[in-house]
Structure 1
Amino acid sequence: MRSTDSPLPDDVETLKRLVLTRDAELALARAEMSSAEALIAHLRLAIEKMRRELYGQRSERKARLLDQMELSSRNSYLPRLRRPRSRDGERGGRRDDGSAAHRKTPAGRPFPAHLPRERVAVPGPTTCTCCGSGRLAKLGEDVTETLESVPRRWKVVQIVRSPAATARRSARRRRRSMCCRAASPGRACSP
Structure 2
Amino acid sequence: MAYTLSNWEALVRYAKDGDLEIDNNGAERSLRGVAVGRRNWTFFGSDNGDRTAAVLSSLIATSKRHHIDPFAYLRDVFARIGALQQFGQSVAVEDVVTQHQAARPAIQELAANDEGLR
Q: Pick the structure with more helix per residue.
A: 2
Question: RCO higher in 1 or 2 (8 Å CA, sep ≥ 6)?
Answer: 2
Q: Greater CA radius of gyration, 1 or 2?
A: 1
Q: Pick the structure with more strand per residue.
A: 1
